[in-house]
Amino acid sequence: MSSSPEIRILTTPQELFEAAAEEVVHGATQAVTERGRFTIALSGGSTPKNLYTLLATNARASLPWDKMFFFWGDERHVPPTDPDSNYRMVDEAMLSKVPVSPGNVFRVPAENPTAAAAADAYERTLRDFFSLAPSEVPRFDLILLGMGPDGHTASLFPGTAAVEERSKLVVANWVEKLKTYRLSFTLPVLNAARCVTFLVSGTDKATVLQSVLEGDAPGEQYPAKLVRPTDGKLIWLLDRAAASALSKKI
Ligand code: 6PG
């Protein structure tokens, strides 16, 4: 039974990133203590970049980098050298600066010209890493997510096929308004996690955030609303600007 979301409103974006860094350190410490390793799926976009920078600097000494395994919740259909690549963003902000062995980093093979083939390959990577049986879904220790002004999360955009997907773990999702494919985890993977943490910053997210957290519109209209871990924690880390339309204030 999914627990009710924890909504934390931080005064500034910097405080939001510090709170997120604490969640990563806490999650990593607990996972390594209980299971010997920490599996994390990273989000892309612009918001989490400062978190990754913090993890590679202030929080660096507090993290068990050799027992951490990195994945991406979604990726743009571009090579890892492309300025739009989520992998490249994370590598530049964090992975290239910390003692992580390449064997612990599982990026989406988005350079594959066939998006569906890239998605299938990444699904195989998940199935192999987590030693999954055919019907099983991987259980990440932590999945970081962002949210777009349209209520999309990962690359599950409103009105796209991927929002309905319930058997595949990773899909190539055609996003008409972007005229491109995106590679994305599906809802079954997001909702199987031990902890999902959203980072949402900025006034441009305020209206949709109010709809997602307090409105009664259907989840298909705002896919971020469909993220409800079945047996895990759901945390929304918001800055004051993003939370400005919520009835709950700080
Ligand atoms: C991506 C993301 C996407 C992102 C939102 C918010 O690849 O773009 O994974 O889901 O989290 O679009 O993006 P911003 O943080 O840039 O507002």
The per-residue pLDDT for range 110-131, each reduced to its tens digit, is 999 999 999 999 999 999 999 9
Q: Is 58 in the pocket of ligand 1 (CB under 6 A)?
A: no
Q: Is 45 in the pocket of ligand 1 (CB under 6 A)?
A: yes
Return d(Cα 196, Cα 205) in angstroms, integer: 19
Q: Is 13 in the pocket of ligand 1 (CB under 6 A)?
A: no
What residue type is assigned to position 185 of the chain?
F
Atom of ligand 1 nearest to the CA of 75: 7
Hey, whose CA ends up nearest to atom 12 of ligand 1?
Answer: 148
Cα angle 198, 40, 46; round to 5: 45
Residue with tokens 């290239």: 96
Cα angle 87, 93, 95; round to 5: 65
Residue with tokens 């010997």: 36
Q: From the CA of 148, how far away is ligand 1's center (Å)?
A: 6
Compute how many other C-beta atoms are within 10 angstroms of the C-beta atom of residue 18.
17
Hey, whose CA ends up nearest to atom 7 of ligand 1?
Answer: 44
Quote the pLDDT of residue 59: 87
Return d(Cα 66, Cα 212) in angstroms, integer: 37
Directed axis angle between helix 13-35 and helix 49-56, to 10°? 60
Atom of ligand 1 nearest to the CA of 202: 17
Between the alpha carbon of residue 215 and those of residues 121, 191, 222, 233, the distances in Å are: 37, 20, 10, 21
For residue 12, how many C-alpha atoms fall within 13 Å in the half-sphere facing its CB?
Answer: 4
| Element of type H or E holding 208 | helix 206-214
Quote the pLDDT of residue 15: 98
Q: How far is CA 111 from its chain centroid?
A: 20
Compute how many other C-beta atoms are within 10 angstroms of the C-beta atom of residue 4.
7
Q: Is 74 in the pocket of ligand 1 (CB under 6 A)?
A: yes
| Element of type H or E holding 29 | helix 13-35
Q: Is 43 in the pocket of ligand 1 (CB under 6 A)?
A: yes
Quote the pLDDT of residue 4: 85
Query: Which token pair is 1?
Result: 């039974």
Q: Is 46 in the pocket of ligand 1 (CB under 6 A)?
A: yes
Q: Is 148 in the pocket of ligand 1 (CB under 6 A)?
A: yes
Q: Is 201 in the pocket of ligand 1 (CB under 6 A)?
A: no
Residue with tokens 């009835």: 247
Query: Which of 155, 180, 199, 226 should be mutated for ligand 1, with most atoms under 8 A from CB?
Result: 155
Residue with tokens 């978190």: 51
Query: Which token pair is 117?
Result: 């083939």
What is the chain's mean pLDDT, rounded?
Answer: 96
List residues bridging with 70 in a β-sheet: 40, 105
Q: From the CA of 55, how far away is ligand 1's center (Å)?
A: 19
The per-residue pLDDT for range 158-207, each reduced to its tens digit, is 999 999 999 999 999 999 999 999 999 999 999 999 999 999 999 999 99
Query: Which token pair is 50?
Result: 């400062």
Q: From the CA of 38, how far away is ligand 1's center (Å)?
A: 23
Q: Where are the beta strands (DSSP E) in 73-127?
A: 74-76
pLDDT exceeds 90 at position 248: no
Quote the pLDDT of residue 2: 60
Region 27-34: what's the mean pLDDT?
A: 98
Q: From the CA of 63, how far away is ligand 1's center (Å)?
A: 25
Please say whether the beta carbons of 135 and 199 come within 8 A: no
